[in-house]
A and B are shown apart, each in its own frame.
Chain A
Amino acid sequence: ELKVEQNPLFLSMQEGKNYTIYCNYSTTSDRLYWYRQDPGKSLESLFVLLSNGAVKQEGRLMASLDTKARLSTLHITAAVHDLSATYFCAVDGISSNTDKLIFGTGTRLQVFP
């Protein structure tokens, strides 16, 4: 059974600091996604990573994918309060018949002054 694990589950960080969220998955996957969710809201797509070594950056967030290690990272640079949210990684491509996403447990990020 495919498992997707994130760590840490909770992250409280000061504005201006850097930190990395890790996403490990247990079976070979073709694609990895990062989403942001604000309380009571839907999921906002942040990154789609399609190949080994893929790196994407948007503002203070940078995501990378190592398919050999089955690991993706979401790096936060110089955090600001607006980044406070829950971040999920998800993988698919496990089956040829379906693209269902398997989500990680989520990382709740709180950025304080």
Chain B
Amino acid sequence: NAGVMQNPRHLVRRRGQEARLRCSPMKGHSHVYWYRQLPEEGLKFMVYLQKENIIDESGMPKERFSAEFPKEGPSILRIQQVVRGDSAAYFCASSHFRTSGSYEQYFGPGTRLTVT
């Protein structure tokens, strides 16, 4: 059973460009979370999605950031007009249904975004 997959693993963008980060959850998982980790800091929650729905986006910056989890395909975190402050590691996690009693989130390897 493959784990959570993220790509690309490393992404370099110039200021003003767009960054697209992809996350494929573990097989059978329908909940996806995105977290951001700035250098030397802990992870900060960004957004929680289920298929075709954004459940909680309280951690997302109001501008330039968006996320989706379509019926088919991976979840996408999109950052428009990137700035140097967006440089960070972006982690995706997935989990099963809450009602199944399984709460644990499984983390992907992360995408390290560098804005030059």
- The interface of chain A, by Cβ under 8 A from chain B, is 31, 33, 35, 40-43, 45, 48, 50, 88, 90, 92-93, 95, 97-106
Asked if B42 and A42 make an inter-chain contact with CB atoms under 8 angstroms apart, the answer reads no
A97 to B43, CA, bound (A): 20
What's the dominant secondary structure at chain B's contact region? strand
**How many Å lie between the Cα of A43 and that of B4 in the bound state?**
12
Q: Is the CB of B45 within 8 A of A31?
A: no
| CB under 8 Å from chain A, chain B span 6-40 | 31, 33, 35
- Interface with A: B69-77, B79-87, B102-110, which one? B102-110
> Shortest CB–CB separation between residue B61 and chain A, in angstroms?
16
Specify which chain B residues have a CB less than 8 angstroms from the CB of A41 in the assembled complex.
109-110
Q: Which residue from chain A places its CB closest to the CB of B4 in the assembled complex?
A: A42
Mostly, the A contact residues are loop
Is B48's CB under 8 angstroms from A45's CB?
no
Give the distance to chain A from B33, nearest Cβ to Cβ, in Å. Answer: 6
Q: What are 22 A-B pairs at a CB distance below 8 A?
A: A41-B109, A42-B91, A42-B108, A42-B109, A42-B110, A45-B107, A48-B103, A50-B103, A95-B56, A98-B48, A98-B55, A99-B31, A99-B33, A99-B95, A99-B105, A100-B33, A100-B56, A103-B35, A103-B43, A104-B42, A105-B41, A106-B41
Interchain nearest-CB distance for B87 vs A (Å): 14
Q: Which residues of A contact B43 (CB under 8 A)?
A: 43, 88, 90, 101, 103
